[in-house]
Chain A
Amino acid sequence: MNPNLPNSFRTGPDERGHFGIFGGRFVAETLMPLILDLEKAYADAKADPAFQSEMNGYLKNYVGRPSPLYFAERLTEHLGGAKIYFKREELNHTGSHKVNNVLGQIMVARRMGKKRIIAETGAGQHGVATATLCARFGLDCVVYMGAVDVERQQPNVIRMEMLGARVVPVQSGSRTLKDAMNDALRDWVTNVHDTFYCIGTVAGPHPYPMMVRDFQSVIGDETRQQMQEIEGRLPDSLIACIGGGSNAMGLFHPFLDDPAIEIFGVEAAGHGLTQLHAASIAGGRPGVLHGNRTYLLMDDDGQIQDAHSISAGLDYPGIGPEHSWLHETGRVTYLSATDDEALEAFQLLSRLEGIIPALEPAHAIAKVLELAPKRSKDHLMVVNLSGRGDKDVPQVGDILKGRKK
């Protein structure tokens, strides 16, 4: 074992927001006082039992938690190896894990007296969750979404608008998630006095990576308890897809200090790692963007490169800083799946289990197809089924139709 390994993987970040060399607060001075206010407001909320109990009420009765831990019997039989369980985050209200985090942040925003909420979104799942909770609590909502993503995720654009949010198509840069985040930051810097920026993943300046992780950790906490109830022990492996990495961090974090458990994150390899892709750890190196130091896709001059993934939710040239640290310490193994592998998994899961997954977790399923057959039949493998595929049905339908021609 590496002698520099920490005693615990669950104590980060330090008071300056660092996970090893990663994380930090790399933002313009205009935003700095807001980030410090948020840090304090979140610390107060975390220490307030009333906050936790109010949140638990909404998680139960509005989101529909706990989400089931489901034994995927036919997929298990098909692969002939590990016993595969799905953590059914796609059954949450709004159709993905994103709502866990948004609920927490909106409740913090309310404590801070903020009336206007902004968010960035890739696939639109975070945007839909934000629009939903803004509707529920009567807050103004503006969602920045890359123009390319507006095209390929139309169902979610319509949902956000129906919920009363304003969706701003972002035309700058590669017109995907990275650019949506730039424009959300530009909005925030301009409307500092009344606006709360609800970041959708475990990235951005401290305290966001920590706060989003904490709100998503309900996934792993429930999984621990449910697996104990079903199998009488903890799982042997965990696997989840990674764009920024919030669904993965939510599942992984409560298990980081159980060294026997293998943990796998799956990045989007797009057309393949030697071509256009979105795998920051496999194909990037540490740099500074969007408020934190982390693995990024960039050229030799430090210019950020466009990512590519079939999945709008993974189409981001960076990854949350805590993942970069878990990679460097070796606690989590990061793999990648191509567009084609994800499409195969998307179809297989639809037919074997009657569950149409989002393209994002289809990347995790793609690696389950490789890993599960190599494990013994008493190996318990949990995959985070982080979102449902309704939003992807038109896009995947078009791609499959195009291939038949």
Chain B
Amino acid sequence: MTTRIDARFAELAKQGRSAFVTFLMAGDPDPATSIDIIKALPKAGADIIEIGMPFTDPMADGPSIQAAGLRALKAGMTLKKTLELVRGFRKEDNATPLVLMGYYNPIYIYGVDKFLTDAKSAGVDGLIIVDLPPEEDTELCIPAMKVGLNFIRLATPTTDDKRLPAVLANTSGFVYYVSIAGITGGAAADSNVVGEAVARIKRHTKLPVCVGFGIRTPDAARAIAQKANGAVVGTALVDALHASLDGEGRATPKTVGAVADLASALAQGVKGAKQAAE
């Protein structure tokens, strides 16, 4: 089955460039502003959009993304509303791949089968669930594959050659390489080291490999995009959003533009890169 993700990577391969992948939290700083931001991203140059599902206890995230999730929850965001946001986006854009990223508990409580049905019909293309390693594939990964959603797995510096096949076995869409052992918003990885890691993963799979964690600037995005099939930026965009809010943490007239402007600059960085050697 070809998904929007597969189609997008095929298109980018023809253009000879890597993907610019954005991450923002659904409902941050409030549901109405959040949909405006997400809608502005394709025009700003985002090739694939990751949307965070807010969770109270995001164990793999740093302070910026934790705070974004709490802002969204405080503004009344729920998993149901996140799916409504996707539905709203899909009314205007039927091509840009959307990937939901987060933690398992809200999905488990929503009900796995109901969630997959609703996510698929809303127009979600893939899932990244941080706390579901291959050892727990029967929970959500296998059911997601059955309904035609990509289950995108994280590979990390601790995922050695022995373990990679298990991690890649049920992965589809793309592989998300976490460039550092750590939480989001942490230190940046050296692009040469990342290049070696991407090459190592590519020895085990034909899937595109996108790299995230620690990419904050257009230059850094360019450097990573030269080594991988995509560069993922999250914390820097979330920080730009946060900086545009008023003293009470509410959206201002600058908020959507602040995120879109940084996304455009980052997209230029990615587009300036030469396509990774295959």
Contact = CB atoms under 8 A, between A and B. Distances in A.
A185 B59 contact: yes
Contacts of A16: 135
Contacts of B252: none
B196 to A, nearest CB: 18
Interface stretch (B181-189, B203-211, B267-275): B181-189
A354 interface: no
B131 A28 contact: yes
B66 A172 contact: yes
A186 B56 contact: no
B105 A190 contact: no
B184 to A, nearest CB: 10
Interface in B118-134: 130-134
Contacts of A193: 181
A29 B57 contact: no
Majority secondary structure, A binding face: mixed
B58 to A, nearest CB: 8
Interface string B153-185: 111111110010001000000000010011100
A244 B70 CA distance: 25
Interface in A253-303: 287-291, 296, 298, 300-303
Nearest to A33: B158
B179 to A, nearest CB: 11
A29 B156 contact: yes
A301 B157 CA distance: 33
Interface stretch (B9-17, B106-114, B258-266): B106-114
B16 to A, nearest CB: 30
B132 A26 contact: yes
Contacts of B182: 30, 189-190
Majority secondary structure, B binding face: loop
Nearest to B54: A303
A298 B58 CA distance: 15
B78 interface: yes
A25 B104 CA distance: 12
B136 interface: yes
Given A28-B60, A29-B167, A287 B136 contact: no
A301 B57 CA distance: 13
A30 B179 CA distance: 11
Contacts of B60: 28, 30, 185-186, 189
Contacts of B80: 301
A277 to B, nearest CB: 17
A34 B59 contact: no
Nearest to B156: A30
Contact of A287 (B105, B160, B167, B183): B105
B104 A288 contact: yes
Given A28-B130, A28-B154, A29-B159, A302 B59 contact: no
Contacts of B62: 186
Contacts of B55: 302-303
A205 B38 CA distance: 35
Interface residues of B, number: 44
B56 A25 contact: no
A303 B56 contact: yes
Contacts of A26: 104, 131-133, 136
B109 A29 contact: no
Interface string B221-234: 00000000000000
A182 B57 contact: yes
B143 to A, nearest CB: 15
A279 B60 CA distance: 26
Contacts of B145: none
A122 to B, nearest CB: 16
A190 B57 CA distance: 17
A391 B108 CA distance: 39
A288 B105 contact: yes
Contact of A302 (B66, B106, B178): B106
B183 A186 contact: yes
A304 interface: yes
A340 B160 CA distance: 53
A356 to B, nearest CB: 34
A24 B60 CA distance: 18
Find the residue from B54, B154, B183 having the highest chain A CB count within 10 A. Answer: B183
A289 B55 CA distance: 11
Contact of B133 (A27, A191, A288, A302): A27
A80 interface: no
Contacts of A185: 59-60
Nearest to A172: B66
A185 B60 CA distance: 8
Nearest to A28: B60
A302 B157 CA distance: 30
Contact of A29 (B108, B110, B178): B178
18 contacts: A24-B135, A25-B135, A26-B104, A26-B132, A26-B136, A27-B131, A28-B133, A28-B156, A30-B60, A30-B178, A186-B60, A190-B182, A190-B183, A191-B181, A288-B108, A289-B105, A303-B106, A304-B56
Top 4 A-B residue pairs of the complex, sorted by shortest distance between their CB atoms: A302-B109, A302-B106, A190-B182, A30-B156
Interface of A: 16, 24-34, 172-173, 178, 182, 185-186, 189-193, 287-291, 296, 298, 300-304
Interface of B: 54-60, 62-63, 66, 73, 78-80, 103-110, 130-136, 153-160, 163, 167, 178, 181-183, 186
Given A193-B181, A302-B105, 17 more contacts: A25-B136, A26-B136, A28-B154, A29-B153, A29-B156, A33-B158, A189-B59, A287-B109, A289-B57, A289-B105, A290-B57, A298-B105, A301-B78, A302-B110, A303-B73, A304-B56, A304-B57
